Structure 1
Amino acid sequence: MDQHVHVVTLATPDLDAARAFYAGGLGWEPLLDVPGEILFFRIAPGTVLALFEAAKFAADLGLPAPVAPAGLTLAHNVADPDGVRRLAADMAAAGGTVLTPPQDGAFGGVFHALVADPGGVVWEIAHNPGWRVDDDGTVHLG
């Protein structure tokens, strides 16, 4: 298997709230929007984030009840601490919930904030001076 992930699919309890947050609040352009079912956003070259209405997601998996994302975060790196502050504020204004305000992290010299989208997906907005992200999305660690 090639070392690639093309689609990350997350259950969301309120697809309309997710649409309002990502498209309306953050200005993301949907790649495909199937009202009442699923919403796709291109998040990097070759990578798509899918937000699947939770009950339909559970049915697709053959589960009796909707599942919520747990034990994971999505991360977005920015160039400096002010970028963390700005994006956390923008996400809150778009309907997100700030879980951890912008601050120094406990690990690796990172400055970050944690913000949950309306469905509970947790985003880490981070500035890590030891990391670099190229314009094409290539991440360099250390």
Structure 2
Amino acid sequence: MEQQAHFLTLSTPDLDAARRFYRDGLGWTPLLDVPDEIIFFQIAPGFVLGLFEAAKFDADLGGPATGGRTGGLTLSHNVPSPAEVDAAVRRAVEAGGTLVKSPARAAFGGYHGHVADPNGVIWEICHNPGWRIEPDGRVVLQAPGEMPSD
């Protein structure tokens, strides 16, 4: 099997709240929205985030598998500046997200804040000067001592 994934699907007990958070708070455009079932967002080339209504998610797996909660993970979104971190965190909270950590200087040398979506999925909104995507799609991560200053 090739080392790649095409979908990240999360169970959500409140699909409408999740839709408001991702569409209105993060400003994302749905790729496909099936009311009362699932909503998909294109989040990278060849990669889609799906938010699947919890009961239908469990039925699709053949029984209760999640208890309707997702945890133990963070999803990260990098932006070009600390000011954009502040603005994105503010919009996400205004759209129903819960502030987990106010934006601040990060130990790795960047700037970040954390917001939980209505399902408890934690999003790190980050400005990381040592992170970039090459033209071929490869991600480059630099160690803190190698990063440019912002």
Shared fold by TM > 0.5? yes
Deviation at 1:60, TM superposition (A): 1.6
Report the counterpart of residue 87 of structure 1 in structure 2: 88
Q: Which runs of 5+ in 2 are unaligned?
A: 143-150
Offset at residue 83 of structure 1 (A): 1.6
| TM-score (normalised: structure 2) | 0.85
Flag the structure with larger Rg: 2
TM-superposed deviation, 1:48? 0.3
**Secondary structure in 2 aligned to 1:101?**
strand
Q: State the AA in 2 paired with 1:129.
A: P
Counterpart Cα distance in 2 of 1:135 and 1:23: 27
1:42–1:136 CA distance, 2 compared to 1 (3 A): farther
Question: Contact 2:21–2:118 (CA<8 Å) still a contact in 1?
Answer: yes
Give the Å deviation of 1:85. Answer: 0.9
Q: Which amino acid aligns with 1:99?
A: V
- Measured against aligned partners, the alpha-carbon deviations of 1:99-121 in whole angstroms (never above 9, x if no partner) come to 00001223x22311010111211
Name the SS of the counterpart of 2:50 in structure 1: strand
Distance in 2 (alpha carbons) for counterparts of 1:117 and 1:71: 14
RMSD: 1.8
Residue of structure 2 in register with 1:57 after alignment? 57
Moved over 4 A (4+): 134-138
CA distance in 1, matches of 2:26, 2:136: 20
Residue in 1 that maps onto 2:18: 18
- For the residue of structure 2 that corresponds to 1:40, the secondary structure is strand
Specify the alignment match of 1:66 in structure 2: 67
Matched, 1:123 2:134: no
Q: Name the counterpart of 2:33.
A: 33
